[in-house]
């Protein structure tokens, strides 16, 4: 028996000390997705790319809010959300311990305010997304005057009405409006 203890002592420990010590994960490990809500523009690209349907976005026009939700119980940790996010608001972390007491604890939420249309006043798109688009245009060298700024702050329905009204005008009048 003493000989057996000597052999065990020489061999060392074959397993890790987990859960009493942190478990080392490999580089590139795809763990729990984290959303940086300050960076997110609520474009819903992540919800379109998620094959498991773990990411959802619900728009409440009456309240003027868009609700983002991640259900970690459905997430397959594929990383598609991280790949398609234009602002890098979603990052996969090294965290893998996701045990919780209730299913409700597996859902993460974020809420975003919608931009109101400059013409009709109805909410139509996330405010951050509209401002992000204008910032990208500004960075590309386009000078945003009040006309263009108003165009980006207008809902698609009002833009359509404005285009129909403009096209109904005689050609000479249209040229006057452009100038």
Spell out the domain ranges in the chain.
19-167
Instruction: Please give the pLDDT value at position 177.
Output: 58
Q: Quote the mean pLDDT of the chain.
A: 87
Per CATH, the number for 19-167 is 3.30.70
pTM comes to: 0.75
Give the tens place of pLDDT for each residue, 19-43.
Answer: 888 888 888 899 999 999 999 999 9
Report the C-alpha gap between 162 and 120 in whole angstroms.
Answer: 12
Give the tens place of pLDDT for each residue, 1-10.
Answer: 778 777 877 7
Report the C-alpha gap between 148 and 144 in whole angstroms.
Answer: 6
Report the C-alpha gap between 54 and 100 in whole angstroms.
Answer: 17
Residues of the chain below pLDDT 70: 169-179
């Amino acid at each position: 028996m003493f000989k057996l203890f000597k052999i065990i002592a020489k061999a060392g420990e074959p397993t890790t000390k987990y859960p009493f010590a942190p478990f080392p994960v490999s580089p590139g490990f795809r763990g729990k997705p984290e959303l940086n809500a300050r960076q997110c523009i609520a474009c819903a690209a992540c919800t379109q790319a998620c094959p498991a349907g773990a990411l959802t976005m619900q728009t409440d026009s009456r309240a003027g809010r868009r609700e983002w939700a991640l259900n970690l119980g459905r997430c397959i940790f594929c990383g598609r959300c991280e790949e398609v996010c234009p602002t890098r608001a979603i990052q996969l972390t090294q965290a893998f311990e996701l045990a919780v007491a209730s299913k409700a604890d597996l859902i993460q939420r974020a809420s975003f305010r919608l931009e109101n249309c400059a013409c009709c006043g109805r909410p139509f798109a996330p405010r951050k997304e509209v401002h992000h688009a204008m910032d990208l245009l500004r960075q590309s060298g386009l000078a945003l005057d009040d006309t263009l700024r108003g165009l980006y702050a207008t809902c698609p329905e009002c833009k359509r009405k404005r285009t129909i009204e403009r096209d109904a005008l005689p050609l000479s009048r249209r040229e006057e409006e452009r100038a």
